[in-house]
Structure 1
Amino acid sequence: MSLPCRLLCLIWLSSFAVLSIRAQALGESPQIPEELLADDHLREEMGVNGFTAPSIRKIFDDLKRLRPLPYDELKRPLPEQPPQDRTKLSLIMGLLLADGFFAVEAEQFFDLEPIGRSLLNHGKILGSGTRVSSHMKSMLEKGAVGQWDALKEELFQTQKDVENEMVLIRDVDAANLISLGGWLRALEIGCAASLNPYDPAKAALLTKPEIIEYFVLNLETLEPRLQKNQLLGRIRTRLLEMQKAVDLPEGQVLSEQEVTQLGSMVEELVDQIGGNGRLLKTTQDIRGPKPTKPATVTAPAATGGVISGEVPQ
């Protein structure tokens, strides 16, 4: 994108922000110009890419390949009130998004409404989420009659609205933290599914070191005030440990004990973010000694979803 075009888009976005505030004051729903939303360079600058707004279809593809999903074991209580801290608020929104995908893939209809309500409450405080609220009624209606494929299609249609909201809030840090929270929750689900029982083919879908590196670099580029945040500091330290743990020779995947240890590290981070543990605790020993040899299988190709996504260039 040329500099003049980039400046024009930024001026356009600034002008639109003023119009949006005015429209909201009048009770109207502001419309983002489609030409602006379609600009890949600007969307990348505003924090919208394959990680901050991952394809819902690809997320479902990953979860489908991890069936059966241990839903009861991994279900977590929803937060009672949104936190005032914007950093934690963004991370929790990511957890809730992943919980929503999890509930749909596990066909747990009665959990959809409370998850959606909590997500909207958090999103309104963050300054996002209002655009997807119109889809909620339709999704609940489809889930009530067991139309899960139609429900997934409805979620696919919300993808554009999610990305539009990312552009509208103009908050790259929040977008990246939402993505990080969602990825951590999805990875926790993936680890548990791979141990239910242990399946090397499922373990190969969990993660790649370059994906963790992507999130580490994102944390290092946050504004200085956020880089001093203690929770983000602990997350970064643990991510570096996780990156070493999954950095295996090509063609090898994590062994059962390595998946168990990875799951333990991820669960700890999700606990620190959400403040609530699982409703049912796993009976597996998640803190055993580190194995000397990882299992060797041919790793399946990445699907591009939250769990095994491809790093944006």
Structure 2
Amino acid sequence: MSKLLNVLYLSTALAVVSPVHVWSQENSPSNSIAASAGDFVAQVIFWTEDQTPADFLEMAGQHTKARWRTMYRPQPPSPTADRNKAAFTLGSLIGETFLIWEAGDSQQFRNNNQDIVTYCRMLGLGEKMKPRLMAQAKMAEMDDWKNLRQEIVDGHQELMRMLREQMDDDLAVLVDIGAWMRSLEIVSKLVVEIPDVDKRPLCIGSPALLAELRQDFATLGEVTRRSLLVQPVISVLTELEKVWNDENTGPPTQGMVARTHEQLRDVMAELTLK
């Protein structure tokens, strides 16, 4: 019931600010996919700057018939010595946490948090984060999902703050990008499975989200930014932003959505599951 109330509260909030979140022919930027979309002129923007990955997944659940438990992915391998890879994978595990919260699956939540502890330990944060992660698992076990939602959002921010405190700014950025990329992978899979044309842009939230992630990537140090490991990330972000921002594209097609999911799935598998 608490999760239903959360959805109702979010729906009410969205209704209040709906003029900000709806594109029309009058207020759409010329470089948006709505600009030349013909009848496709009342497109809801599914992402705003104040959203967290948790908000984004909750939004997706309102617009799709999400079967969250079918979205789980395999457990990642043990972390290697590559700290950049570990940070990105850790971010993807945080993204997985938001998915599991939507599913309300306490056992899967505990399993995922154990993986998070392992990756935190590799980055020097194991002892600092373990008590909080154990407390989160206990909240899931007690079905305290209402309070757990904010706790995992805060835990995500706390983790990045700790990384910055130990002068690992690049790792903090990679954690955040990893969480968003996993969330986009999940949502794009949901959108592939629905026929509604007006819901297709949900799979990337907004071209502005892709641009923000690309800008975050640009803040990485040169060595990190140019590493072979993370180059596939910026390549996918740049290509998707170009495709979804093309004023000549018109309404997004099913093939466009399928290709978007395929690109996100492949880059996440390459960086986090191998």
Q: 1:76 to 1:218 in 2, by over 3 A?
A: same
1:273 corresponding residue in structure 2: 271
Alpha-carbon offset, residue 275 of structure 1: 2.5
Matched, 1:150 2:147: yes
Q: Distance in 2 between matches of 1:82 and 1:221?
A: 24
Q: 1:194 to 1:233 in 2, by over 3 A?
A: same
**Secondary structure class of the residue paired with 1:204:** helix
Q: Distance in 2 between matches of 1:107 and 1:165?
A: 28
**Secondary structure class of the residue paired with 1:197:** coil
2:262 corresponding residue in structure 1: 264
Q: 1:185 aligns with which of 182, 187, 192?
A: 182
User: Structure 1 regions of 5+ residues with no counterpart?
Assistant: 1-49, 277-313
**Secondary structure class of the residue paired with 1:231:** coil
Structure 2 letter corresponding to 1:261: R
Alpha-carbon offset, residue 267 of structure 1: 0.6
Q: 1:58 aligns with which of 55, 80, 85?
A: 55
Alpha-carbon offset, residue 135 of structure 1: 2.9
- Alpha-carbon contact 2:113-2:137 (below 8 Å) kept: no
1:78 corresponding residue in structure 2: 75
Matched, 1:122 2:133: no
Q: What TM-score do the two structures reach when normalised by structure 1?
A: 0.62
Describe the superposition over 1:205-228 as per-residue Cα deviations: whole angstroms up to 9, x where unpaired: 333233323333443443232233
1:242 corresponding residue in structure 2: 240
1:209 corresponding residue in structure 2: 207
Q: Distance in 1 between matches of 2:157 and 2:174?
A: 19
Structure 2 letter corresponding to 1:231: L
Q: 1:254 to 1:141 in 2, by over 3 A?
A: same
Alpha-carbon offset, residue 160 of structure 1: 5.7
- Alpha-carbon contact 1:63-1:105 (below 8 Å) kept: no
Q: Identify the structure with the greater helix proportion.
A: 2
**Secondary structure class of the residue paired with 2:217:** helix
Alpha-carbon offset, residue 64 of structure 1: 3.5
Q: What TM-score do the two structures reach when normalised by structure 2?
A: 0.70
Q: 1:169 aligns with which of 160, 166, 169?
A: 166
Q: 1:138 to 1:223 in 2, by over 3 A?
A: closer
Structure 2 letter corresponding to 1:260: A
Q: 1:71 to 1:148 in 2, by over 3 A?
A: same
Bigger CA radius of gyration: 1
Structure 1 letter corresponding to 2:94: L
**Secondary structure class of the residue paired with 1:219:** helix
Structure 2 letter corresponding to 1:175: A
Q: Distance in 2 between matches of 1:65 and 1:231?
A: 35
Q: Distance in 2 between matches of 1:56 and 1:242?
A: 18
Q: 1:234 to 1:55 in 2, by over 3 A?
A: closer
- Alpha-carbon contact 1:93-1:122 (below 8 Å) kept: yes
Alpha-carbon offset, residue 159 of structure 1: 5.4
Q: 1:141 to 1:225 in 2, by over 3 A?
A: closer
Matched, 1:225 2:223: yes
Q: 1:98 aligns with which of 95, 99, 111?
A: 95
